[in-house]
Amino acid sequence: MAWRMTVNENKFIETALESGLRIDGRRPFDYRTVDIKFGKDDGSAEVHLGQTHVMAFVTAQLVQRYRDRPNEGSLSIFTEFSPMADPSFEPGRPAEYAVELGRVIDRGLRESRAVDTESLCILSGKFVWAVRVDLHILIMEGKLPLFFC
């Protein structure tokens, strides 16, 4: 049962925007407060952007590498749209936008070379680190692709 905006709500938002106000009182280019907390163990963080909460956990495993890329480790990102964030998320197969979101983040981190995959190699051709990032979305109130980096 999707929620639909009423005509009144549409008009209200448009009129407010014309006078430079958004529905929560912010100006058009204002950000919500960001709060980043690091967990006790290495590799975990929790970010709050306004009401949206996301948790990230990073783990690494030693794996044997493919022969075509013997000098590089791998970085994989798993985005979990937990039903906790919104009851319309079904567990199991992720919806289209969830997959798209995962790919946007993946390309962003990979292509900007934020993590140097060559440095993840320990023994060329034999053992490399496979870094795995798990993102759990706890509450969703908009602006998801922003915070993952």
Partner 1 sequence: MEIDRLDGRTPNQLRPLACTRNVLNRAHGSASWSQGDTKVLAAVYGPKAGTKKNENPEKACIEVIWKPKTGQSGKAEREYEMILKRTLQSICILTLNPNTTTSVIIQVVNDDGALLPCAINAACAALVDAGIPLKHLSVAICCCLAGSGYVILDPSKLEEQKMKAFVYLVFPNSVLSNLPEGQLKVQGEPMEHGIITSVTQGAMPVEDYLHCLERGRAATAKMSAFLRKSLQPKLPID
Binding site for partner 1 (CB under 8 A): 39-41, 44, 51, 53, 55, 57, 59, 78, 80, 82-87, 91, 132, 134, 136, 138-141
Closest CB to partner 1 among residues 94, 108? 94
Three-class secondary structure of residue 119 per DSSP: helix
Query: Position 43: which residue type?
Result: G
Closest CB to partner 1 among residues 39, 145? 39
What is the DSSP-derived secondary structure letter of residue 86?
Answer: -
**Cβ 6 to partner 1, closest distance in Å?**
21
Closest CB to partner 1 among residues 40, 113? 40
**Cβ 59 to partner 1, closest distance in Å?**
5
Q: Is 13 exposed, middle or buried (0-12, 13-18, 19+ CB in 10 A)?
A: middle
Closest CB to partner 1 among residues 86, 118? 86
How many Å is the Cα radius of gyration of the chain?
20
CA atoms within 13 A on the CB side of 119: 4
**Cβ 18 to partner 1, closest distance in Å?**
29
**Cβ 134 to partner 1, closest distance in Å?**
5
